[in-house]
Amino acid sequence: MQPLDPTSLPDNDNIPGNHYAYCVRLTGQLFMQTGRMIAYYPAPNGPGIRFEPLTTASVSGFVAAQFSAPLYARDWVVATGQGHLILGDRGYDINSYDLGDGNLTLRAANLLAYDATLELKQSIVPGFLTLLGTGKFLASSSGPVIFAEPPIRVDPQALVGWADCPSPSHHYDAGWMSGFLGGAMGMMFGVQSGEERQYDFTGAGTVLLQSSEKTLADPHLVQQLEGQVGALDVPGLSHLQSVIAQRLSSQQQH
Amino acid sequence: MPFEQVNGKVVSVPVAPGREVLARRGAMLAYTGQVQFAPVRASAGGMGGMAGRMMAGEQVQMMVAQGQGTVHYGYRGMYLTIIEVGQMGPLTVEADRLVAHDAGLQATLVFLGSQGGIRGAVRGAVSGQGMFTTQLHGYGTAVVLSHGGTIALPVQPGQTTTVDPQAFVAHVGQVNADIALNASWRDAVGRGSGEAIQLKMTGNGTVYVQASEQKI
């Protein structure tokens, strides 16, 4: 096993023989999710590499304007300078994708980094982010990514993302939901597995799948739901309160 | 062979009338076509069987996929191995590790104690597996879970293949598994390291082991 040689690191490729680590050659600015960088080598005789939060004054207004996902702003930094960055994520496979004047929506936890030429927006699907424009980005997946064409129905946990707008919607298995067993199971477990609820993709485009993952606690989901509470009226709020109280008491019993 | 390996962690299978597939609840990743899912109750053994399952902690709910289409299966990013069940003999696997199988295969619950008396029961307790395992009979294909993939080791007559109980995933064929205690009972109470407690496989078939001692 050869130790890594900083002079012969790959430019924008996986570390040789390793799907789980990716080496980016930094030549300008790169948006990065915090906690995904495992090592970096500044270029010799270069200006070095700086990591700055998006709110820092030195991050120019133009670059900051490329990031319009306020919920996630604290999770992202801008890397500036010359050199190599090595990224990794939970031992997941990492792949680089080229986006050419297109749009792609990804699970927020699986997006590692993207060029400052791309624009990032919060998707209307909770927990997902949309990239717009032209440039490269890095995404991770539990096992290799499977590309599928709609029409297809996907377990929400197995979904990595989708490109070119194949309009996602929820699909509930009517027979299963209305059945007595389905109701009882829903009451007992409180969680829905992929068999009862899927994302339904129709229309033209591509859907990216992975083997399902152990879901991480997503702090943004809470924020996102909280943001939507403002749209509720009093009956809605009191209904939500009773639902939450019920869930809480059933969780505490276990 | 209906199951097809898409990559190390995902398999796909066509479903058609008469070719239903049973799979662990939550293992479905995606499907195309018109496929419906419904829970199935383990009828084998009736109420006693159910109680047995509850006791053994084997409460894995299976779902049947029926209709017309193609289903992708995977589970929590773990590795999947496709195993043919046929002339060789039945497949024995812990219910936790069984992801999917043809509905044509008949699943029965086996109490380990009946297989070698008290030693079998000890084996269950020691290896950290349930006291019950699932046996699949008939002709068809099954998919099992592992951490980091499996290696298939042959079991031949007149030759014993010994494996670490925690690395053991499944065995297929006319294979008899027996616990071998190379150590004092003290090790049997705690978590054995695999060196002290071993599974001795005799008979004719194949045993699958994973490259890890992690449970599901």
The arithmetic mean of pLDDT across residues A4-17, rounded, is 83
Contact A175 B38 (CB under 8 A): yes
Q: Is A212 left (phi over 0), alpha (psi -120 to 50) or beta?
A: beta
Contact A158 B7 (CB under 8 A): no
Please report the pLDDT score of residue B199 as a whole number.
Answer: 83
Scanning every residue of chain B, which has its alpha carbon at the shortest distance from the alpha carbon of A157? B29
pLDDT tens sequence across A45-88: 888 888 888 877 666 777 777 888 888 888 889 998 999 999 99
Tell which residue, A222, A232, A216, A224, has the closest CA to residue A69.
A224
Please report the pLDDT score of residue B30 as a whole number.
Answer: 93
- Choice among B31-35, B87-91, B143-147 with the minimum mean pLDDT: B87-91
Scanning every residue of chain B, which has its alpha carbon at the shortest distance from the alpha carbon of A208? B30
pLDDT tens sequence across B118-165: 555 555 555 555 556 788 999 999 999 999 899 999 999 988 898 888
Which one of B12, B15, B29, B71 makes the best mutation probe of the A interface by having the most chain A beta carbons within 10 Å?
B29
Contact A212 B76 (CB under 8 A): yes
Please report the pLDDT score of residue A135 as a whole number.
Answer: 92
Q: Which residues of A touch B75 (CB under 8 A)?
A: 211-212
- Choice among A12-21, B165-174, B176-185 with the minimum mean pLDDT: B176-185
- Choice among A7-16, B14-23, B144-153 with the minimum mean pLDDT: A7-16
B163 neighbors B201 (Cβ within 8 angstroms): yes
A214 at the B interface (CB within 8 A)? yes
- Choice among A17-21, A70-74, A192-196 with the minimum mean pLDDT: A192-196
ipTM for the complex? 0.75
Interface size A-B, in CB pairs within 8 Å, comes to 93
Residue B103 has pLDDT above 60, yes or no: yes
- Choice among A138-147, A172-181, B42-51 with the minimum mean pLDDT: B42-51
B197 CA to chain A: closest CA distance, Å? 31
pTM above threshold 0.90: no
Which of the four pLDDT bands, split at 50, 70 and 90, describes residue B111?
Answer: low
Considering only residues A93 and A228, tell me which one the structure prediction assigns the higher pLDDT.
Answer: A93
CA pair distance B149, A200, nearest whole angstrom: 31
Please report the pLDDT score of residue B45 as a whole number.
Answer: 42
Residue B71 has pLDDT above 90, yes or no: yes
B75 at the A interface (CB within 8 A)? yes
Please state, in angstroms and as integers, the Cα–Cα distance from residue B6 to each residue in A94, A125, A196, B30, B79, following that order: 18, 28, 23, 13, 11
CA pair distance B16, B32, nearest whole angstrom: 12
Q: Which residues contact A240 (CB under 8 A, 6 or more apart)?
A: A229, A232
Please report the pLDDT score of residue B57 as a whole number.
Answer: 46
Compare CB distances from B26 to A92, A153, A193 and report the shortest one's residue: A193
A213 at the B interface (CB within 8 A)? yes
CA pair distance B61, A14, nearest whole angstrom: 39
The arithmetic mean of pLDDT across residues B82-103, rounded, is 89
Compare CB distances from B32 to A146, A152, A175 and report the shortest one's residue: A152
Compare CB distances from B76 to A152, A173, A213 and report the shortest one's residue: A213
